[in-house]
Amino acid sequence: MESRPDSFSAFDAELASASMTDPWLHGRGEEPFYSPDFELLERLLTIPVRGEKGSASGALANGVDSWLAHELRRAGFGPDEVWPRASRPRVLPREVALLLEKLPRALADEVRQKLETMSVVAPTDAKYLGRAYEKQVDVSISRWDRGPELLISTKTQVSSFGKNLSNRFEEAYGDAGNLRSRYPLAAVGFFFVQRSTVLRDEPAAFERTVDMMRKLRDIGDGNGYTATGLALVSWTDEDPEVKVELGQVPVDIRPEQFFTRIIDRVLLASSVGHHVQVRGGFERRQLALEEDFTA
């Protein structure tokens, strides 16, 4: 029995065939530098655009979420640690995944199918209670024994840039305070994708976008995001192939620094026995210990 499709199913085939090569380009002792797979992002976002869902922010955003989650797995985080997972169920506690691995194959398949119908155990979306309200987090890393370690919110914008930008800023800043007040050690990120037509149609809105991405960051007072990132993407009605365009995006808010910053924060807030593979890639060395699995 095949899993029923969900809002992420359209991206499963691309994710299954995507490269898991080492994303770090720096050497040991050098400043960490993360190299994202932008070609994969292009392929993922082309799916909703080609299906004429490019103007539907939810479909496009799901592609962004799928890409961010893939990049975190590529960095070494476990396939069941990062949500949304690359297959259904999208949110599955690691401890439940370990149980499924220990069960006989037929029983495991039966339990997995049952899980997909139980949103209280394995929902499509991850929701976290913040200080003031519950927030759906688009990409996250969490475990029962550690709690939330990484919480990323994503937004996409393909038109009406100036009109909606203020609302985006207010929502994003409020969400950062809501989550960080309850989870002060978690890495909290905001990733924004705009259609590159903003450069041609509303250049003033792009200037405000760049300023917004910088202003949303924590400047040392415990408010704001651990990391923010911006990417511009383009396509036309005649050519639905999405292209990532970063030439006009300042280096300090590009996706490369976003991944470096947010992964660094996760590692700083965890012990050396946690996320050993991620830490080894980040530090460019083989650690003399194994992952600390307590389950």
In a domain, residue 113? The reply is no
Strands (E), the chain: 82-83, 126-129, 134-137, 139-143, 147-157, 187-195, 227-234, 243-245
Is residue 4's pLDDT more than 80? Answer: no
In a domain, residue 57? The reply is yes
In a domain, residue 235? The reply is yes
In a domain, residue 104? The reply is no
Give the SS3 label for residue 79: coil
In a domain, residue 156? The reply is yes
In a domain, residue 295? The reply is no
Identify the top-confidence range among 123-137, 161-175, 239-253.
Answer: 239-253
In a domain, residue 288? The reply is no
CB count in 10 Å sphere of residue 11? 25
Is residue 150's pLDDT more than 70? Answer: yes
CA distance 32 to 263: 10
Percent of the chain predicted with pLDDT > 90 = 69
Query: What tens digit of pLDDT does each residue of 215-244 get?
Result: 999 988 878 999 999 999 999 989 999 999
In a domain, residue 117? The reply is no
CA distance 97 to 94: 5
pLDDT at position 114 = 82
Q: In total, how many domains does the chain have?
A: 1
Query: What tens digit of pLDDT does each residue of 112-146 get?
Result: 888 777 776 766 788 899 999 999 999 999 888 88
Per the CB < 8 A criterion, the answer to whether 250 and 214 are in contact is no
Average pLDDT of the chain is 91
Mean pLDDT score, 7-36: 95
Query: What tens digit of pLDDT does each residue of 65-110 get?
Result: 999 999 999 999 998 889 998 988 888 777 787 888 888 888 988 8
Tokens, residue 160: 């009406």
Give me the domain span that covers residue 252. Answer: 9-16+23-90+125-283
- How far, rounded to the nearest angstrom, does the alpha carbon of residue 16 sit from its chain's CA centroid? 17
* Gyration radius of the chain's alpha carbons: 19
CA distance 163 to 206: 12
